Structure 1
Amino acid sequence: MTTSLYVRLPHRPIQSPERWSAGALASVPFALVREEGAQGAQRIQREGTSRPDELPGADRLILLLPAADVLLVPANVPPLATPKLRLALPNLVEDRLVQDAQQCHIALGPRLRAAPARGWRAPREPQSRALMIADRAWVRFILDTFAVHKHRTCHLLPAQLCVPFETAAPVPAPTAEAAGELVRAEPSLDAPAEVPAVAAAAPVAPATIALDAAPPTDPDAPVAVDITVRTGPAEGYGLRLLPANVANWLAIAPTPATLMVSPALRALAPGLSADPATATLDWSTWAAGARDALASGEADLCQFDFARGGVAGMDWSLWRLPIALAVLIVAVQLIGMNARWLTLRAEQKRLDTAMRAQLQTAFPNTPVILDPPAQMRRQVEQLRLAAGKSAPEDFLPLADRFAQAATGLAPDALLALDYHGRALTVTLKDGTDTAALRTAARNVGLNMDAAEAPRGAEATVPGSRWTVSIAQ
């Protein structure tokens, strides 16, 4: 369930854009509508007139541009990319405009003929579409004025595409037998004057004429009537007249037509509502027509330079499910990581308690236990030394292991052997295969790393120096 704010805009002022101010949109009629789904019921919650900065917030802001300010022109649109198409559109309609085409905002309107389906691929042939043309400065002024309103998405629709229009039902063509009988019929003096035609005339769809009070652009301006005419699915126009001239225009209005009059005009022109066939034009009609126009996806003037892109123009309602799934995945991951960390911490405490208990059992005289493995190793070494046994890091066990690894060395390959800091310092003759020696030392549990350069008197001994220690 979403809320939509429908706003009827006034006509473009006759002054130059430099003289426009907030007074051009000082008071606009609006209706706040709650909608239940794309085709659900629409309920008007609030309607009236207000300043743009005092309008109630809504999920969607739908601005209805007067039909007199939007020109619908049919054209064959070439299959171009969006940047190139924006530059090519003025060339298609410049011969039909009074003002410079570069000063107009040209948007793609409804399709006039059904295009062949090509899936995700762009069309390869020109498309017959209606182009929606409006004054660029006026459109920019409108969107900048309503930028302070709280909404998620903004749409700008031509009013002539928001009034209802009923297409005429197709008349079936005569059968071949009936046509043959008409062709074979011979003329007769006794025959009636009226002869049925072979093919019925094409049905004419009644136009829709909507009469409503025009929103004022100037408080001192006289009351005017906003006339919106829709003559086809993608055809329509509008004009603005004084109430005294409406009856004269209706005398030359297109026929057949469906007349719709707003309640605000019934007091100004009582003769408009005398016909019982006259329908009522209210906010329910505007809201339903605007929703149908938006559902087609081809009636929004917010295109190209005025497209509301980025984060501010996104419809986040479509991303609710993906965002909820992402949040759920992150939450499950965090819960799993914390549960695993708590399990490992409990295991660490259990192992630490077991090691402390084992150290306390083996060596009860240990005063303070800080690092049970290191203290256990130190106590065992002290016991081994007290018993007269050599430690693996002593000179003799270390030299014995190195001798096992160096069985493949030449007799003159070992130049010097030194013991310091529980490690052997071995000096080898240049050209000795140290790679094979290091592999053999690793097999007997020794680490053989390159030693630092010799200093002092030892610098006179040639060859390479290596440090041999017990592998940890």
Structure 2
Amino acid sequence: MALILVQPPPPSAPGVSSVAWAHWSTDGRQLLGQGESPVALLPGQHELVLIVPAAALSWHLLGLPPGSLQNAARLRNVLAGLLEDRLLDDPEQLHFALAPGAQAGAPVWVAACRRDWLQQTLQALEASGRRVSRLVPEFAPQAEGQPTAVFVTGEPESPWLTVCDAQGVLRLPLSASTAALAVAQADAGDAAAEPAVAAIAEQLIGRSLPLLPPAERWLQATQTGWDLAQFEFATTGSARARKQAGALAASMWRSPRWRAARWGALLLLLVQLVGLNAWAFKERRALEAKRLQVRQVLTQTFPQVQVVVDAPVQMTREVAALQAATGGLTPADLEPMLAALAGQLPVGRVPSAIDYSGGQRFHFGGRQR
């Protein structure tokens, strides 16, 4: 299934009149299209991944008390209480989302955004018949030990500097005063700039930065474990588990980190198929050899048999005919059948009628004595 990434305008924009989008192939290697259009004109009929703009999110690092993760409603109240003094808005007006793998008693990142804006954005997309399968932050804090990531985004008239590290996400307008921060952070980690602001970034920072178009940056964002669809925006537990499994599978299918594993799995599958076919071919050859051996035994023992249709059946008939010709008894003769019947009759039961026809039919009628 193709991957369609959609980034709505930030909360400061008046409504969701149009959205930026990128249409990627199933494996995430080919960009099929990109642009900006009204929601009703989005390409394809596939599910969407919503890229939540950096301007819509704030990030907070806090510790969760023991037992707070056991109940979603209680966790929502715990987060509201812990973040009340850090927020400019009423916590009841905000939506919270925990970092993947959050554990009580350990520091955890919490993303916050306006609930009404997120609700309106999702309703606008769903009204056009599109289903949002995942909410991914445009930028997120880096894990401990990962290098700092520096991005220059925006338009030439309003470039933005975004720094992502283990301390959080810092977003500032790019100017001569913030260029020094960009230089220091870029020297310490990875840096990239969108094509639209690459020239001004080079002018202010003093060196050119690798180009990273928005579509590729959004694709990289989907390869993280983040999903902001939590609490009131989360689906049922089973659907949630399916969505997480789907996100993991999509990451393994598209992420360059899993390329070697994908090739290994493909080679293993090919080896299994080749081995299975070779084993089946060997077994067929062995079976044909046994059948040929049985035919040869039949034709060598009974040369009068010219056409072999069912060697075991024909062998049985020829042996029976030979025994009959020499006066010997065969299992199909009456005497062996009567001997077998005598050993099986219940006590007190005697035959009243016997119908026997040359080893082809044996019918017994009995009565109680």
Q: TM-score, normalised by structure 2?
A: 0.56
Please give the residue correspondences for 1:19-30 in structure 2 after superposition, counting only pairs within 5 Å.
23-30=14-21
Q: C-alpha displacement at 1:228, in angstroms?
A: 2.6
Tell me, yes or no, if structure 1 residue 260 matches structure 2 residue 192: yes
| Residues 176-255 of structure 1 mapped to structure 2, 5 A cutoff | 206-213=147-154, 223-232=157-166, 235-239=168-172, 241=173, 245-253=174-182, 255=185
What percent of counterpart residues are identical?
25
For the structure 1 residues 266 and 110, does the alpha-carbon distance in structure 2 shift closer, same or farther, using more than 3 Å as the test? same
Q: Which amino acid aligns with 2:161?
A: I
Residue 108 (structure 1) aligned to one of 98, 115, 119:
98
Task: Check 1:304–1:167 CA distance in 2 against 1; reply closer, same or farther (3 A cut).
Answer: closer
Give the equivalent residue in structure 2 for 1:11: 10
Which of 283, 292, 300 is equivalent to 2:227? Answer: 300
Matches within 5 A, 1:109-148: 109-111=99-101, 126-148=105-127
Task: For residue 279 of structure 1, report the CA deviation from its aligned partner.
Answer: 1.6
Separation (CA, whole Å) in 1 of partners of 2:205 and 2:22: 24
Match of 1:53 in 2: 40
SS of alignment partner, residue 285 of structure 1: helix
Q: Deviations over 1:215-242 (max 9, x none)?
A: xxxxxxx94224332112x821324x3x
Which residue of 2 is the match for residue 288 of structure 1? 219
Give the conservation status (yes or no) of the 8 Å contact 1:90–1:101.
yes
| Amino acid in the other structure paired with 2:58 | L
- Label 1:246 to 1:6 Cα distance change in 2 as closer, same or farther (>3 A): farther
- Distance change >3 Å, CA 103–CA 270, structure 1 → 2: same
The 1:281/1:135 distance shift into structure 2, 3 A limit, reads: same
Gaps of 5+ in 1: 14-19, 116-124, 169-204, 215-221, 319-472
8 Å Cα contact 2:8/2:53 also seen in 1: yes
Relative distance call for 1:209 and 1:269 in structure 2 (3 A) is: closer
Alpha-carbon shift at residue 62 of structure 1 (Å): 1.6
- Indicate conservation of the 8 Å contact 2:193/2:201, yes or no: no
Gap change, CA 1:247 and 1:10, over 3 Å in 2: farther
User: Compared with structure 1, are the counterparts of its residues 109 and 307 closer, same or farther at alpha carbon in structure 2 (3 Å cutoff)?
Assistant: same
1:65 Cα offset (Å): 1.9
| Cα distance change of structure 1 residues 249 and 10 upon mapping to structure 2, 3 Å threshold | farther
- 1:223–1:156 Cα change, 3 Å: farther
Cα distance, 1:301–1:282 mapped onto 2, change above 3 Å: same
Measured after TM superposition, the shift of residue 47 of structure 1 is 0.6
**Contact residue 180 and residue 205 of structure 2 kept, 8 A:** no
Structure 1's 150 and 308: CA in aligned 2 closer, same or farther, altered over 3 A? farther
- Could you tell me which residue of structure 1 aligns to residue 81 of structure 2? 91
Tell me the CA shift for residue 257 of structure 1.
4.1
CA distance in 2: counterparts of 1:150 and 1:211, whole angstroms: 34
Contact kept in structure 1, 2:143 and 2:165, CA below 8 Å: no
Deviation for aligned residue 1:263: 0.8
Per the alignment, in what secondary structure is the counterpart of residue 139 of structure 2? Answer: helix
Task: Tell me the alpha carbon deviations over residues 400-457 of structure 1, each in whole angstroms, 9 at most, x when there is no partner.
Answer: xxxxxxxxxxxxxxxxxxxxxxxxxxxxxxxxxxxxxxxxxxxxxxxxxxxxxxxxxx
Q: Which residue pairs with 1:81 in the alignment? A: 71
1:63 aligns to 2:50 (yes or no): yes
Task: State the shift of 1:302 in Å.
Answer: 1.4
Structure 1 Cα separation of the partners of residues 201 and 107 of structure 2: 40
CA distance in 1, matches of 2:99, 2:45: 26
Partner amino acid for 2:207? D
8 Å CA contact 2:162–2:169 kept in 1: the answer is yes
The structure that has the greater radius of gyration is 1
TM value normalised by structure 1: 0.45
- Residues 82 and 31 from structure 1, CA distance in 2 versus in 1: closer, same or farther, beyond 3 angstroms? same
Which amino acid in the other structure matches residue 285 of structure 1? E
SS in 1 for 2:24: strand
- Give runs of aligned pairs for residues 264-275 of structure 1, distance below 5 A: 264-266=196-198, 271=203, 275=207
Aligned length: 239
Q: Distance in 2 between matches of 1:45 and 1:273?
A: 33
**What secondary structure, in the 3-state scheme, does the structure 2 residue paired with 1:10 have?**
coil
Distance 1:30 1:140 in 2: 19
User: Any stretches of 5+ residues in structure 2 without a counterpart?
Assistant: 247-369
* Structure 2 CA distance for aligned equivalents of residues 9 and 35 of structure 1: 22
Structure 1 segment 356-371 matched on structure 2, within 5 A = none
Shift of 1:130: 0.9
